[in-house]
Amino acid sequence: MSISVSQVSKNYGIQKALDQVSFNISTGELVGFLGPNGAGKSTLMKIITGYLCADGGSVVINGETVETKNISIRSQIGYLPENNPLYTDLYVREYLEMVAGFYQLKHKKEQVLKMIELTGLKAEQHKKIGMLSKGYRQRVGLAQALIHDPAVLILDEPTTGLDPNQLEEIRQLIRTISAHKTVMISTHIMQEVEAICSRVIIINQGKLVADGSILDLKSGQIEQKQTVLVEFNKAPEVELLRKISGLRKLEAINSSTFLVESDHTIDLRPALFHFAVANQLVLLTLKEQQQSLENVFQELTR
Ligand SMILES: Nc1ncnc2c1ncn2[C@@H]1O[C@H](COP(=O)(O)OP(=O)(O)OP(=O)(O)O)[C@@H](O)[C@H]1O
Ligand SMILES: [Mg+2]
């Protein structure tokens, strides 16, 4: 199922939480949703899942407009809200059976057992939710989001507070279940995005600031720049180097090594090669730089 978010805005009183955000997610995509604290991620996820009304714009899932009253579309969406709210006084199975009841599932007990198996809750299934460790509570949250086999999955920070082993297991679980679903996952962990997502959407102060593949982001496509590391065998005449057509920024690492920046539509490497030849220099390094996702994130959301 596809998700189409168009021109969605939301205000909380005088505060603008979302400002005309638009993007499309195709069926089967696993998209990472990033943004600093307070950017509006959870707000948008609540609007996509129909828990909150937008002030402007619309969300369409598989051709159907999401509205708080539209129960049929909400039954197609699995949602793990931020901070994973659960009924801590209920037993794991009891709680999952209650959720299965909300969705009026035909084979409630079987489905609950299937979810317990899928999310690795078997050993803990007889405990009260309040007795579970954080990682296992997170699994209960995932199980309730998945119990009705939704085509769309919206996970708001599903891996916060997990230890490295649990983290890897939950990521693997998300990867497995995402094979047949459209998934949107918010997180502050960049490695997580790189490990499981094919595409990244970044919002900042309620506005969309990037939407592209991880490769696009790291190679500067989104920020529209190319950075090349160039090292000569000896110091060039810097003023001449600066004059290379298309070069817009030059940073000296030492007297013979530089980082040069251009617009992403201009590849400076051929010109740098010709510069070296014309100035009787030997090129020791000529390499397009990839940025880390952290750097890109910081530049886009500073
Ligand atoms: N119910 C509310 N009433 C008033 N303001 C709210 C409410 N919910 C969210 N906000 C504000 O809207 C903005 C966006 O919040 P939101 O929770 O969507 O951010 P977020 O990107 O999920 O942040 P985080 O990474 O910290 O979870 C914040 O400034 C927040 O204080
Ligand atoms: Mg949030």
Are 240 and 194 in the same domain? no
Identify which of 11, 15, 34, 160 to mutate to test ligand 1's pocket (most ligand atoms within 8 A of the CB). 15
pLDDT at residue 18 in the model: 97
Give me the amino acid identity at 211.
D
Question: Is the Cβ–Cβ distance between 21 and 207 less than 8 Å?
Answer: yes
Report the pLDDT averaged over residues 94-106. Answer: 94
DSSP string for 142-183: HHHHHTT--SEEEEESTTTT--HHHHHHHHHHHHHHHTTSEE
Are 155 and 270 part of one and the same domain?
A: no
CA of 198 to the centre of ligand 2 (A): 21
Q: Region 99-107: what's the mean pLDDT?
A: 93
- Separation of CA 206 and ligand 1 centre (Å): 10
214, burial (CB in 10 Å: exposed 0-12, middle 13-18, buried 19+): middle
**What is the domain range of residue 19?**
3-218
User: Which residue's CA is minimally distant from atom 26 of ligand 1?
Assistant: 37
Protein residue whose Cα sits closest to atom 18 of ligand 1 = 40
Q: Quick one: 62 and 167 in the same domain?
A: yes
Ligand 1 atom with least separation from CA of 18 = 14
Cα-to-chain-centroid distance, residue 23: 13
Identify residue 103 by its one-letter amino acid code: Y
CA 213–ligand 2 middle distance (angstroms): 22
Question: Is 163 in the same domain as 52?
Answer: yes
Task: Produce one character per residue of 94-104: b if its CB has 16 or more CB atoms within 10 Å, e if not.
Answer: ebbbebbeebe
Ligand nearest to the CA of 40: 1
Q: Rounded distance, CA 232 to CA 256, Å?
A: 5
Establish whether residue 38 lines the binding site of ligand 1, counting it when its CB lies within 6 angstroms of any ligand atom.
Answer: yes
Determine whether the shortest distance from the Cβ of 35 to ligand 1 is under 6 A. Answer: yes
CB 41 near ligand 1, within 6 Å: yes
Q: Whose CA is nearest to atom 28 of ligand 1?
A: 38
Instruction: Indicate if the pLDDT at residue 24 is higher than 90.
Output: yes
Query: What is the 157 CA–ligand 2 centroid distance (Å)?
Result: 7
Q: Are residues 139 and 127 in contact, defined by beta-carbon separation less than 8 angstroms?
A: no
For the entire predicted model, the pTM comes to: 0.87
What are the pLDDT digits (tens) for 163-216? Answer: 888 888 888 888 888 888 999 999 999 889 999 998 999 999 999 999 999 988
Q: Which residue type is seen at 278?
A: A
132 and 250 part of one domain: no
Per-residue pLDDT band at 162 (split at 50, 70, 90): confident
Calculate how far, in angstroms, residue 56's C-alpha sits from the geometric centre of ligand 1: 17
Q: How far apart are CA 19 and CA 164, in angstroms?
A: 36
- 168 and 120 in contact (C-beta within 8 Å)? no
Tell me if 37 CB under 6 Å of ligand 1.
yes
The number of angstroms, rounded, from the C-alpha of 50 to the middle of its chain's C-alpha atoms is 20
Closest atom, ligand 1, to C-alpha of 45: 18
Residue where one domain finishes, among candidates 176, 192, 218: 218
Domain boundary among 218, 251, 280: 218
Between the CA of residue 96 and those of 124, 139, 186, 230, 286, what are the distances in Å? 13, 11, 24, 59, 57
Banded pLDDT at 101 (limits 50, 70, 90): very high
| Pocket residue to mutate for ligand 1, from 12, 185, 202, most atoms within 8 A of Cβ | 12
Shared domain for 173 and 144, answered yes or no, is yes
Please report the DSSP string for 106-137 in residue order.
Answer: TTHHHHHHHHHHHTT-GGGTTSBGGGS-HHHH
- Tell me the CATH number at 295: 3.30.70
Q: Please identify, among 218, 239, 264, the residue that sits at the C-terminal boundary of a domain.
A: 218
pLDDT at 147: 95
Q: Whose CA is nearest to atom 2 of ligand 1?
A: 12
Tokens representing 150? 């939704």
Looking at the fold, whether 39 and 131 belong to one and the same domain comes out as: yes
Q: Which one, of 82, 74, 128, lies nearest residue 104 by Cα?
A: 74
> Does one domain contain both 244 and 211?
no
Q: Is the CB of 42 inside a 6 Å radius of any atom of ligand 1?
A: yes
Can you tell me the distance from the alpha carbon of 275 to that of 119, in angstroms, rounded to the nearest whole number? 59
- The ligand 1 atom at the shortest distance from the C-alpha of residue 46 is 18
| Structural tokens at position 56 | 């402007």
User: Strand pairing of 207-213 and 257-263?
Assistant: unpaired
Least confident span in 28-42, 142-156, 282-296:
282-296
Same domain, 137 and 209: yes
**Shared-domain flag, residues 82 and 131:** yes
Q: What does the alpha-carbon distance between residue 84 and residue 106 come to, in Å, rounded to a whole number?
A: 26
Q: Both 143 and 252 in a single domain?
A: no
pLDDT tens string 268-291: 999 999 999 999 999 999 999 888
Residue pLDDT, tens place only, 213-224? 998 888 877 778
Average pLDDT, the chain: 92
Does residue 254 share a domain with residue 143? no
CATH number of the domain within which 19 lies:
3.40.50.300
| Count of structural domains within the chain | 2
Task: Assign 43 to helix, strand or coil.
Answer: helix
